[in-house]
């Protein structure tokens, strides 16, 4: 069973100056310096999914780029600090974990995050690992992919959950009112300007009234906003909205 942590909520969105990242920072070019995983201790820990790149691709930032690592570690450090400020949930803000889908440790964590699903090509063990994770109570956030990468995402998810299909969401779904009342889903991808965001859910039995297994941020990149929210690269309201969505995802997943 997935070890779930219940959130006790308080306060509003806190977007004061974020503490600068003291650990090794993600490089905008080349491979970031990855910190060691930390053992499970009951706290809510950000888990990033690692996958093997296909032979033909090194990612859009060069041959040394690892798409699954985009925005690491500043994106998750900033985001977990926000979640910690907003709730009494015991959140790990000083560390995060990187796990493959076939790692037995994944089942200890209720929520996982994957970047750039357009490059994701799971092997049989990883397909089974994600299927087991989701059907036993896990929740995964797919983020940071756009355009034609949707085709690969659909192909791989059909392997994981045959028969299930992503269903486009609108503001009536409870995930957009689990903490903040999201007033609009009119978002643009922060890099691919003009790519209008679409939000999808993957549900048990393709029924939006049943448990959501995955949230899909297509044509969006919430973690890009999280990573640079202390730099002025993006308008404050855009970073704020990205945090609101992320907080809603966490609260929704932890309370259902």
- Position 55 scores a pLDDT of 72
Lateral strand order in the sheet of 167-168: 97-99, 47-49, 111-115, 139-145, 212-218, 198-203, 167-168
Return the SS3 of 9: strand
Q: How high is the pLDDT of residue 189?
A: 84
Average pLDDT, whole number, for the chain? 87
Q: Which are the contacts of 55, defined by CB distance < 8 A and separation ≥ 6?
A: none
Helix H or strand E segment including 49: strand 47-49
Question: Looking at residue 9, what is its pLDDT?
Answer: 40
Residue 187: predicted pLDDT:
86
- CATH tag, 47-254: 3.40.50.12140
% of the chain beyond a pLDDT of 90: 77
Locate the domains of the chain by residue range.
47-254
Predicted confidence (pLDDT) per residue in 72-113, tens digit: 999 999 999 999 999 878 999 999 999 999 999 999 999 999
State the pTM of this model.
0.88
The residue with tokens 């990612």 is 59
């Amino acid at each position: 069973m997935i070890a779930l942590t219940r959130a006790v909520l308080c306060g509003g969105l806190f977007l004061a100056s974020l503490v600068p990242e003291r650990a090794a920072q993600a490089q905008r070019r080349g491979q970031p310096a990855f910190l060691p995983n930390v053992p499970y201790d009951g706290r809510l820990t950000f888990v990033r999914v690692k996958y093997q790149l296909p032979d033909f691709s090194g990612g859009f930032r060069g041959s040394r780029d690892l798409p699954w690592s985009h925005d690491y570690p500043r994106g998750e450090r900033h985001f977990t600090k926000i979640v910690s400020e907003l709730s009494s949930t015991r959140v790990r803000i000083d560390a995060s974990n990187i796990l493959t889908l076939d790692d037995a440790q994944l089942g200890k964590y209720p929520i996982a995050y994957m970047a750039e699903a357009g490059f994701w090509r799971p092997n049989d063990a990883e397909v089974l690992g994600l299927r087991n994770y989701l059907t036993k109570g896990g929740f995964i956030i797919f983020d940071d992919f756009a355009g034609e990468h949707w085709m690969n995402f659909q192909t791989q998810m059909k392997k994981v959950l045959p028969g299930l299909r992503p269903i486009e969401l609108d503001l009536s779904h409870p995930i957009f009112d689990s903490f903040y009342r999201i007033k609009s889903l009119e978002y643009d991808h922060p890099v691919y300007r003009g790519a209008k965001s679409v939000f999808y859910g993957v549900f048990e039995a393709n029924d939006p009234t049943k448990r959501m297994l995955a949230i899909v941020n297509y044509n969006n990149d919430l973690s890009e906003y999280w990573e640079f929210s202390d730099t002025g690269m993006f308008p404050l309201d855009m970073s704020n909205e990205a945090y609101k969505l992320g907080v809603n995802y966490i609260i929704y997943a932890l309370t259902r």
